[in-house]
A and B are shown apart, each in its own frame.
Chain A
């Protein structure tokens, strides 16, 4: 069964038709990479999945459960804010700009989700947070505030923070786009590790190397539509659509 399934998702920002009928299914342990020119709707798609944006119409299923169903910008399925919050916690999100909480140390950033949302005991949450910081290779910075960390370190803390909620799926919204080039590698390394550990991931990215190496499926989006999809190898080496070919030509 699919972890995420979307049916005919549309999203308008005013008159701007940002998502134009997206049908998508992500299966367990898949690493789905989403590429496309800026403004193609790939980030919006990700943000719609965990309610940071509300879809205009369509259906979203998570783990087989219908969690969002809207038509004409109105709820068809009544959504309870508490349930929405719970659902969001099942989707870990990593942002382009990290969005760490600046008034909390690295360790506190990782603990705050379980402590606040799951009411986990502090000692237990701390133990787990340290283990996660260890996993992303940054446990020695546990007591530093985000402002004292490099972009790459901040993003690794942000990944640990998302993992602390034990999400079923990790969503990455251009996780390396705000990083200095020399810091990109350390973040991709952590993501690679996660993928090898069997985590289901959806990654909006410009890192074609990562997509090719780690991705199990590649989606090319343009103008709010999925133009082409397949294994990264298929899409990179033998794109079928003109727009896909143009895009690869323009970036390589």
Chain B
């Protein structure tokens, strides 16, 4: 029989105010990284999706390559390249170092990566809309742009929300990968505090992630129901 030490479950009192603040700050960084990257990725991903279904072979080729590269290589490596390799590359080419902040590099890396996934999600959403919808819009005299903005894209919301929610939660968790460039987000904070032997701090981080993903799931479920109101 394993005997647990008396203080095994009593760790709350051991968290100092400084540590609590550290967790709060780390959590805020994680949330900021997620929201900013997803918001930028949303715009960029939609543009990629539209380019991917355009008539131009060049645009289609470029976006296909983009998606191929960013989905085909690890996010962690992409983050390392943005933060460590790009400044060196800039130096080799122009002779000047390019200074990117840790946070900036993290946002860029996460955005470029999520945009590739979101582009595929949006593309599938657009292609799933019955082609009679575009025909009806055109028959009313709408241009392609008007038809996309008013008719096609709004109808993709309901279909796109579940895979989008999935991607959102993936990115929320994958923000922990920015630990490789040293940004003090939730995972790194817990690792720092745990370095002194306080292994329980890892579980605090885990609980916070779980809390964030649970709230997100709840919100996306609501959004999905709202988007399905006309069906």
Residues of B bordering A, CB below 8 Å: 130, 132-133, 135-144, 146, 150-151, 154-155, 229-231
- B155→A89 contact, CB < 8 A: no
Mind listing 5 A-B residue pairs with CB under 8 Å?
A50-B138, A52-B138, A101-B136, A103-B230, A145-B229
A88 to B138, CA, bound (A): 7
**Which residues from 84 to 131 on chain A have a C-beta closer than 8 Å to any C-beta of chain B?**
85-86, 88-93, 95, 97, 99-104, 112-113, 116-117
User: A116 touching B146 by the CB < 8 A rule?
Assistant: yes
Determine whether the beta carbon of A112 is less than 8 Å from that of B230.
no
Residues of B within 8 A of A102 (CB): 155, 230-231
Do residues A89 and B144 form an inter-chain contact, with CB atoms below 8 A? no
B131 to chain A, nearest CB (A): 9
Once A103-B154, A112-B150 are accepted as A-B contacts, the answer to whether A85 and B138 lie under 8 Å apart by CB is yes
Contact of A91 with B154 in the complex, beta carbons under 8 Å: no
* In contact, B143 and A103 (Cβ under 8 angstroms): no
User: Which residues does A use to contact B, with CB under 8 Å?
Assistant: 50-52, 81-82, 85-86, 88-93, 95, 97, 99-104, 112-113, 116-117, 145-147, 158, 161-162, 165
Write the chain B residue with the least CB distance to A81: B143
Q: Is the CB of B139 within 8 A of A117?
A: no
- A100's nearest neighbour on chain B, judged by CB, is B136
The residues of A that contact B138 with a CB separation of less than 8 Å are: 50-52, 85, 88
Taking the nearest CB of chain B, how far is it from the CB of A178, in angstroms? 11
Measured CB to CB, the closest approach of chain A to B111, in angstroms, equals 29
Q: Which residue of A lies closest to B131 (CB)?
A: A99
Task: With both chains docked as a complex, state the minimum distance between the C-beta of A127 and any C-beta of chain B, in angstroms.
Answer: 19
Q: Which of A86, A95, A103, A104 contacts B141 (CB 8 A)?
A: A86
How far, in whole Å, are A81 and B133 apart by their CA atoms in the complex?
18
**B139 and A93 contact, CB distance less than 8 A:** yes
Residue in chain A with minimal CB distance to B139: A93
Q: Which of A51, A52, A117, A158 contacts B146 (CB 8 A)?
A: A117
Q: B144–A88 contact, CB under 8 A?
A: no
